[in-house]
Amino acid sequence: MNLKLEAVNLVRWLHFMALTLGGGAAIVALLLSGFEEGKEEIQGLAATIWAKVVAWAFRLALIAGIGLLVLMIQGGQNPFKAGIYFHIKLTLVFILVGLSEMTPKALAQAKRGSALLVVVLFLAASFTVFNKGLFRKDAPKAGPEMPVTAATTPTAH
């Protein structure tokens, strides 16, 4: 574990914290939207929480992620060449952020489909990042290759 106080580590921490806040608040807002039905005093609370907390957390995570990508490329790493997982993650993230921007209006109309889809996309992107090995370019070989020599080839009798 790298505990050096470097820009890459600080931005990575900010990215992770913003994602954690956004994902957790999205789940809370989604659950809260179910309690709003039939209660006038809390009507619209889920949409407000989404607009003030979830959307801003995902925006900050996107900005921090772009900053992290720039810092990593400047440091000599290239996540785009590490496998297809990064392309999958970026696709999920852009759809997630787009849906997250439209969700407060839907929650205000008591429609929870886009909020649920954002939570599912958040979980899918998290799964993709934590299981990078599933999305490698080259598949691992079944076993070590044995060289073919005169000693290993079968003889006909």
pLDDT digits (tens, 9 = 90+) for 45-98: 889 999 999 999 999 999 999 999 999 899 888 888 877 888 888 999 999 999
Between helix 85-108 and helix 55-74 the angle, nearest 10°, is: 160
**What is the biggest distance separating any 2 CA atoms in the chain, rounded to whole angstroms?**
91
As a dihedral over the C-alpha atoms of residue 48, residue 53, residue 59, residue 60, rounded to 10 degrees, the angle is: 160
The tens digit of pLDDT for each residue in 108-130 reads 888 889 999 999 999 999 998 88
Name the residue type at position 156. A
End-to-end CA distance of the chain: 59
Name the residue type at position 65. G
DSSP 153: S
* Predicted TM-score of the model (pTM): 0.77
